[in-house]
Structure 1
Amino acid sequence: MIPADLQLIRAVVRERVGGFFCNTYVPGTAGVCVVCRGPAAEQDLCNICQGHRATFGNQLADRTILLTYALGNYPDGPHQSAHVVRAYKGYKGTHPVRQCQQDLELMVSVAVGLHGGCLDNTPTGSWDSLTFVPSLERPGRSHPVTSLANAALAGDPIAVMAGRTPQGSLEKFLLEPGPGANVKRRMVPDRYRVPDMWRSAVAGKNVLIVDDTWTTGASAQGAAVAVKQAGASSATVLCVDRWLRCDWSDHQALINSLSGSYDALRCPMHGRMCLPGTGFTVITD
């Protein structure tokens, strides 16, 4: 029987985002890329992720965590999933929409809070440090993705919904754009770099990198390459959504196979409720 506190969390998240988000397929699902959760025909990796691995090898992320899919190029106008992941940070000159930001923060907070035992599980130990994928247009702390990174520290979705600042023990650091930052949607070895002042937060550490949307993976994996080049023991990428295009036949086939609304109790790595989640505490004051 599912404990009452977990039923409450499931209901809250489903009410907020279940109408337009669903869970990603877990790694190992036939026809789904184990890295980006996009379509991969009969292979473990899609063609793009295969290319990344062939070129960058163990400099890439050791683990990728993706929570949901966003449906782009929808034939009847923007799908709500695509709207939310764009509107949370502002899109084409529009102001960021706080409600969309809170919805994504909630998803990240709950995923880490409920499934941390599976997500924070690298061969070299638990996460030590936290950063996010920076934007060339809005570098540093000014980009709304910082709120998603902070949500990864929270472990209490009620606090996130109430606007209380998450607290955590991970050491935060910033990446900065490198010489290859202007290259679009293609992996380069110097998209980002770790500034000298943050090297101690990276060298020998297990690093968690948070991003909002995975399209080709060039940004998220570029961040992983940067921390590996700076001596990180491991790099984990937590990305809220995998962008799918409704006008691409292989993407459309994957979209057609999706069913059900987003279930916060389903582990992004294993597709089941994680045992550590049974001790999750809901604070309602």
Structure 2
Amino acid sequence: METQRNFLRNPLPTLPWICPTCRGVRTPGFDYCYPCQEHQTTSGGLLADVVAPIAYSPRTGQHHHHLRLYKSTPGSAQAHPHPLQDLIGDRLGLPWLTALSNPRHGSETRTFQRDWFTVQLPVESVNVRPLVLDDTWTTGSRAQSLAYALKSAGASSVAVVVLGRHIRPEHAASRPLLKAIEDPMFDPAKCAVER
């Protein structure tokens, strides 16, 4: 962990210019950034109850490189289980749910889709509260589409943990965020939710 502290950056707290959902840059005049505002509008509010990005992932940074690299190792493309599931294994002590992806929505889809995923919750379970693990959050459309499917299937709440909140350095609105995270070292004791 010590070597990653040099390039990992904690998410900023919810400031007037930071999106309270994904910790990206909020769209002026709106409560959220543009993609999160769109998710709110198109989902009817059936979204993740909490999104916890662990660190920012600027496109030109080492964290972004690592998050792309682990999926591009031989045999990991379309591998079952997903590389994250291989990494986590049974460490969480939670059952894994299977989400079936609609083939009409490929990896390049960047907008919320109500029909992106189909899930079946365990029949005998009550008060199901899934934890979604995602490697990167670019627009959040995939994670929020999955949260929508989980809630539509009966989940009482959904939490999303994201390893890297993607930031595009060429996006002018992101420059103040990149400046704000330029120097601070990653602090693993800082909670991404309670700030």
Greater RCO structure (CA 8 Å; 6+ sep): 2
| Larger CA Rg, structure 1 vs 2 | 1
Q: In angstroms, what is the RMSD of aligned CA positions?
A: 2.3
* One-letter amino acid matched to 2:66: V
- Paired residues in the alignment total 192
What's the counterpart of residue 26 of structure 2?
Answer: 40
Using the alignment, how far apart are the partners of 1:61 and 1:148 within structure 2?
23
Establish whether residue 138 from structure 1 lines up as the match of residue 81 from structure 2: no
What's the counterpart of residue 251 of structure 1?
Answer: 174
Candidates 177, 180, 183, aligned match of 2:101: 177
* One-letter amino acid matched to 1:144: P
What's the counterpart of residue 67 of structure 1?
Answer: 54
For residue 80 of structure 1, report the CA deviation from its aligned partner.
1.2
Contact persistence 2:7–2:62 (CA under 8 A): yes
Contact persistence 1:139–1:176 (CA under 8 A): no
Contact persistence 1:173–1:201 (CA under 8 A): no
Contact persistence 2:63–2:164 (CA under 8 A): no
Change (3 A) 1:181 1:200: farther
Using the alignment, how far apart are the partners of 1:69 and 1:86 within structure 2?
14
With structure 1 as the length reference, what TM-score do the two structures score? 0.61
Using the alignment, how far apart are the partners of 2:32 and 2:39 within structure 1?
10
For residue 214 of structure 1, report the CA deviation from its aligned partner.
0.1
**Secondary structure in 1 aligned to 2:56?**
strand
**Secondary structure in 2 aligned to 1:256?**
helix
Q: C-alpha deviations, 1:89-111, integer Å up to 9, x for none?
A: 21xxx548xxxxxxxxxxxxxxx
Candidates 262, 270, 277, aligned match of 2:186: 262
Larger displacement relative to structure 2 (55-64 or 35-44): 35-44
Q: Structure 1 segments of 4 or more deviating over 4 A?
A: none
**Secondary structure in 2 aligned to 1:37?**
coil
**Secondary structure in 1 aligned to 2:130?**
strand
Higher helix share: 1
For residue 173 of structure 1, report the CA deviation from its aligned partner.
1.4
Change (3 A) 1:24 1:225: same
Which residues in structure 2 correspond to 1:1-285 (within 5 Å)?
A: 13=1, 15-26=2-13, 28-42=14-28, 43-72=30-59, 74=60, 79-90=61-72, 94-95=73-74, 138=78, 140-141=80-81, 143-147=82-86, 149-150=88-89, 166=91, 168=93, 170-178=94-102, 180-182=104-106, 184-195=109-120, 198-200=121-123, 204-258=127-181, 259-271=183-195
For residue 184 of structure 1, report the CA deviation from its aligned partner.
0.8
Change (3 A) 1:86 1:212: same
* One-letter amino acid matched to 2:110: R
Q: C-alpha deviations, 1:104-159, integer Å up to 9, x for none?
A: xxxxxxxxxxxxxxxxxxxxxxxxxxxxxxx9x61641x21214554xxxxxxxxx
Gaps of 5+ in 1: 1-12, 97-134, 151-164, 272-285
Contact persistence 1:171–1:201 (CA under 8 A): no
For residue 22 of structure 1, report the CA deviation from its aligned partner.
1.0
Percent of aligned positions that are identical: 30
Q: C-alpha deviations, 1:232-284, integer Å up to 9, x for none?
A: 1111111111000111111122101113111101111124xxxxxxxxxxxxx
Contact persistence 1:180–1:192 (CA under 8 A): no
**Secondary structure in 1 aligned to 2:12?**
coil
**Secondary structure in 2 aligned to 1:241?**
strand
With structure 2 as the length reference, what TM-score do the two structures score? 0.88
Gaps of 5+ in 2: none
